Amino acid sequence: MVMKARTISRHFRESFKSLIRNGWMTFASVSAVTVTLLLVGVFTALMLNMNKAATDIENDVEMNVYIEIEADEVSVSALEDQITDLSGVESVTYSSKEEELSSLIDSFGDEMALFEQNNPLRDKFIVKATDPRQTERLASQITTIENIAAVEYGEDKIDQLFETLEVSRNVGAVLIFGLLFTAMFLISNTIKITIVARRREIEIMKLVGASNWFVRFPFLLEGIWLGIIGAILPIAVVSVLYYNVYEFMEPRLENSFIQILEFTPFIYQINALILLMGVVIGMWGSFMSVRKFLKV
């Protein structure tokens, strides 16, 4: 579809005229898009950060593999090799009971020094899986190895976390979908009113031989404008909000293994997403309503 410059400028003119002419409907659908994109924007920002947190947590899942007290040094190093050779193991770190105790003394104070005479702790390996979801499988494999006393990890906590994430992700998706649909419906209605008001014009255009694209184009543009105008406020709000949240959270999370997503490029990505969604629902909404009227 090659379009002449003056045709394009005509389409732009027509689409702006129509926005102004249908002032109240324009306002209504822009408001709908604004509310939708605002919720979608805030929710998406939240979801993406939760995902990030989940990944951070997942990556930090470790197993404590306790070694039988009877095992001698030779078999300990053999054990280490054996665990390292298992598929899906990222790292194996040996930590003797003396090291364990000194780290306990470090964190809980000198009272712990009492145990130096009779150390109740056990030698262990700290094992990390390449894929944290494989932790459970690895744990059961390691348990069967000779000279391993026990394997411990926060099994319940991890499962729960995964489950919560899954549920909130699904609920969010349904919510976003519903909102997008509503906004699309409103845009489609606005365009429909425009079209009904200009039915005669379209009929004549069709009768004298205007191409379908020529008729359709101004309405598509009108839909896009509705989407873009509706995206302005959400972009501003999400940017300011995220800036403040980031300024607040970032120093507090400095020493934690969980990190909030960096302000840039994240803010550009989410704003581009909001704008894109505005354009798409605007275009789609108008496309839906023009289709019927083109059959003259």
Q: State the minimum distance, in angstroms, from the CB of residue 291 to other proteins.
A: 12
Piece in contact with other proteins (CB under 8 A), picked from 83-91, 93-101, 195-203, 224-232: 195-203
Please state, in angstroms and rounded to a whole number, the distance separating the CA atoms of residues 243 and 25.
33
- DSSP structural state of residue 184: H
SS (H, E, C) 32-82: HHHHHHHHHHHHHHHHHHHHHHHHHHHHCCCEEEEECCCCCHHHHHHHHHH
Residue 201 binds other proteins, judged by CB under 8 A = yes
- Among residues 171, 174, 276, 296, which is the contact residue for other proteins, using CB under 8 A? 296
- Among residues 214, 263, 266, 287, which is the contact residue for other proteins, using CB under 8 A? 214
| Pair type for strands 63-67 and 148-152 | antiparallel
| Pair type for strands 63-67 and 89-95 | unpaired
Residue 252 binds other proteins, judged by CB under 8 A = no
Q: State the minimum distance, in angstroms, from the CB of residue 278 to other proteins.
A: 29
Beta carbons of 143 and 166 less than 8 angstroms apart? no
Instruction: Print the binding letters for residues 1-20 with other proteins: x by CB under 8 A, - otherwise.
Output: ---x-xx--x----------
Residue 206 binds other proteins, judged by CB under 8 A = yes
Residue 210 binds other proteins, judged by CB under 8 A = yes
CB neighbours of residue 173 within 10 Å: 12
Judged by beta carbon, residue 200 or residue 252, the one nearer other proteins is 200
Please state, in angstroms and rounded to a whole number, the distance separating the CA atoms of residues 9 and 14.
9
Please state, in angstroms and rounded to a whole number, the distance separating the CA atoms of residues 213 and 148.
73
Binding residues for other proteins, rule CB under 8 A, total 18
Piece in contact with other proteins (CB under 8 A), picked from 27-35, 59-67, 197-205, 225-233: 197-205
Q: Which residues pair with 59 in a beta bridge?
A: none
- Among residues 72, 120, 200, 255, which is the contact residue for other proteins, using CB under 8 A? 200
- DSSP structural state of residue 268: H
CB neighbours of residue 179 within 10 Å: 20
Please state, in angstroms and rounded to a whole number, the distance separating the CA atoms of residues 228 and 283.
10
Piece in contact with other proteins (CB under 8 A), picked from 69-77, 120-128, 205-213, 216-224: 205-213
Please state, in angstroms and rounded to a whole number, the distance separating the CA atoms of residues 247 and 252.
9
- Among residues 51, 91, 211, 244, which is the contact residue for other proteins, using CB under 8 A? 211
Judged by beta carbon, residue 218 or residue 227, the one nearer other proteins is 218
Judged by beta carbon, residue 10 or residue 52, the one nearer other proteins is 10
Residue 292 binds other proteins, judged by CB under 8 A = no
- Among residues 145, 173, 204, 240, which is the contact residue for other proteins, using CB under 8 A? 204
Residues in touch with other proteins (CB under 8 A)? 4, 6-7, 10, 200-201, 203-212, 214, 296
